[in-house]
Amino acid sequence: MKDLTLTHEVLEALTTRVLMGMGAPQGSAETVARSLVLSNLVGHDSHGVIRLVEYSGWVQGGQIIPGALPRVEWEKQATALIDGEWGWGQMASALATQTVIASAQEFGTATAVLSRTNHVGRLGEYVDEIAQAGMMGIAFCNTGGEVVAPFGGIKKVLGTNPFAWSVPGVAGYNLVLDFSTAVVAAGKVILAAMNDQEIESGALIDKNGIPSTRAKDLEDGGALLAFGGHKGSGLSILIDVAAGMLAGNLPATISKSGFGNGTVIMAVDISRFVPLDFFRSITEQFAGTIHGAGAPGNSVVLMPGEMEAKTKELRLASGVVVSGGVRQSILEVAAKYGVPVPELGRSTPDL
């Protein structure tokens, strides 16, 4: 199929319908659709509407209960436990984010833990919301499915365990950092392996621990590497233990479920320490220094979150490109649930 460009409204509407087809109540479907399309808008298509395929499989496998709604299991002073009830991870994350912001408004700092939660989506979305509320946000989660070897090792025992961090930003964007602790996303390597392609060096070792660029080595007993040597590997280990244990889904290598995101979200109310206006004006000045830190004549050096904000502005105006492969995949998922998706055309190879 050919690529197709859709407005984000159209993409959200059709994604909502497909999710409702899977059994999601309208409110949940709208929240999840908004979250997925937001990932497309900011340029992280790997976390965008393509995830409908995976979610459909989980709904059919019983790992996602589409009608389940998250709830605050308990809240005690500056801590809260959110029970995802194995519903949509984005719903649980939205509740956790609201809870942690309200709690940090009262106590100055707060921590929410999400238990029994499916794929939470893109952590950057939630810490961005915390920054939008004038706070510093930290979020991390462990991921099922061991694909990463610890520094000095060759066996896959860690997930891609992402980490996100934000503070309120400047005109147009908050400072949002959001990264996988693996050098590259597992999905990217699996895709490259399907097409028998190479991946960048420094990201993968083969089954004997030898550095490799052959994507197929991941399935042939190899492993992804953590970014930044022992430092990124240490972050991944801390995330797996801290998030896995606090959330109760356990470190990936012990739970062996290959599933669920044990997630921790923290917030600190900045205005207790410094007036937010001053925070923003100095950060603006700091951003100017970073922008100018490149070689003479080179393009500006970007702040965390700036690329995403620029991409979002562009795609809000010109639409989101849905690749032929993604079109085909979503049409197939929609067909399973008898949901018509005329916006993507008919599922025939000649389109």
Cβ closer to its own copies: 52 or 167? 167
Q: Could you tell me which residues come within 8 angstroms of residue 274 by beta carbon, excluding any fewer than 6 positions away? A: none
Residue 336 binds its own copies (CB under 8 A):
no
Q: Are 136 and 267 in contact (CB under 8 A)?
A: yes
Alpha carbon distance 33, 302 (integer Å): 29
- Contact flags string 206-235 toward its own copies, x per CB under 8 A: --xx-----------------xxxxxx-xx
Cβ distance 131 to 178 under 8 Å? no
Handedness of CA 40, 137, 99, 118 (dihedral sign): positive
Residues 38-57 that bind its own copies (CB under 8 A): none
In the complex, what is the shortest distance from the CB of residue 310 to its own copies, in angstroms, rounded to a whole number? 14
- Which amino acid does the sequence have at 141? C
Establish if 242 lies at the interface with its own copies (CB under 8 A): yes
Among 151, 191, 328, 343, binds its own copies (CB under 8 A): 151
Cβ-Cβ contacts under 8 Å for 298 (sequence gap 6 or more): none
What string marks each residue from 152 to 191 as x (binds its own copies by CB under 8 A) or -? xxxx-x-------xxx-------x-x-x------------
Query: How many residues interact with its own copies (rule CB under 8 A)?
Result: 75
Site for its own copies in 59-118 (CB under 8 A): 76-79, 81, 106-111, 113
* Binding-residue pattern over the window 280 to 319 for its own copies, x denoting contact by CB under 8 A: --xx-xx--xx-xxxx-----xxxx---------------
Per the structure block, which two tokens stand in for 22? 């899977």
Which of residues 49 and 141 has its CB atom nearest to its own copies in the complex? 141
Nearer to its own copies, 33 or 237 (CB): 237
Contact of 179 with 308, CB cutoff 8 Å: no
Q: How many other β-carbons are positioned within 10 Å of the β-carbon of residue 200?
A: 12
Query: What residue type is 33 in one-letter code?
Result: A
